[in-house]
Structure 1
């Protein structure tokens, strides 16, 4: 079965705008998604990205217009200036890592739904995804034990660091970023999901 590694951060508006389309594409083509949360600040520092506060005003203004257009295109409500952005994405990222590990062991739950719930909490619901109660609510809503928010902390921190190293080594420089594992085909941005699907279709 084809594996697609999904490098992401739940604090990214474009991860929110990706919604669950990657999951739908993977299902149509018999592929498996593996969720790899990364520290975007660390990723930018390692790969030449510019953090949002340091970008030129022209780029900031364009970003807001593009977010507005893309949210309308996708039919997803989005707050351009959320009450809790920026915030620390690590607790939510650790929860995703713990949920992925639980799902790998057959413990149930929907990791894609969890990723979207956390991103939606920030970008559409004005909730702080660094807050324990928000992380627990999202875990529960996605079918996972909310206790993963605590039990997955140590392993989550270790995997979070490993994910960053793997991302840099494999050519990742932003999120959302998908890599088809067996042929190293890479796709950056929620607006490249159609290209990901076309690539999977071309493989037969």
Structure 2
């Protein structure tokens, strides 16, 4: 059975646009997914990327066009200028880490729930009440928002180091452990699907 490490940022619009397509692909091929939230801004710093706030206007204008095109293509609602962006992604990332450890809910739905909260619902995913609500909506104990914060912080830091070691430089980023193949971006999910079919 193939295993996929999924590096994601809970404030990433492209992680949002990935939806739950990864989960459908993994299910089709009997693959497992390990969710690895990372601080994308630090990942950019570590791997030669540029934070959105520091990018040339032409790059940001093109990014805006691409986001609108993909949202329309995928028929997903998108607020191009969310009310709460950028926002501290650590609390929601800790919640994903705790939920993955606890099990029992819809982890892919939880990840999408946080990104959707930012890009479609104008919600602040650094707010404790929002984190609890998203956890509960996807079958997890809302109290996970308070539990394992230290372990969550430790894992969050390790995820960043692992992302760098794995050659990740943005999000969403998918690494197939069995083959070492890497796929960057929600627009590469079809290639990931084809790759898993070949294993």
Q: Match for residue 28 of structure 2?
A: 28
CA offset at residue 96 of structure 1? 0.4
Residues in 2 aligned to 1:41 and 1:53: alpha-carbon distance in whole angstroms: 10
- Separation in structure 1 between the aligned mates of residue 69 and residue 41 of structure 2, nearest angstrom: 25
Q: State which of 167, 179, 182 in structure 2 corresponds to 1:183.
A: 179
TM superposition outliers: structure 1 runs of 4+ over 4 Å: none
> Residue 87 of structure 2 aligns to a residue in which SS?
coil
Q: Determine if the alignment matches structure 1 residue 12 to structure 2 residue 20.
A: no
Cα drift, residue 84 of structure 1: 0.2
Aligned to 1:45: 45
- Aligned alpha-carbon RMSD (Å): 0.5
Distance in 2, matches of 1:96 and 1:118, equals 9
- 1:1-204 aligned at under 5 Å gives the runs 1-103=1-103, 108-203=104-199
Query: What 5-or-longer segments of structure 1 have no aligned partner?
Result: none
Q: Aligned to 2:146, what secondary structure does the other structure show?
A: helix
Unaligned runs of 5+ in 2: none
- How far off is 1:68 after superposition? 0.2
Query: What is the TM-score normalised by the length of structure 2?
Result: 0.99
In structure 1, what is the Cα distance between the partners aligned to 2:40 and 2:177?
A: 21
Taking the aligned partners of 2:128 and 2:198, their CA distance within structure 1 comes to: 43
- Post-superposition offset of 1:109: 0.2
Q: CA deviation at 1:152?
A: 2.3
Q: What does the per-residue CA deviation read over 1:2-54, in whole Å, with 9 as the maximum and x for residues that have no partner?
A: 11000001100001000000000000000001100001111011000100010
Task: Specify the SS of the correspondent of 1:178.
Answer: strand
TM-score when normalising by structure 1: 0.97
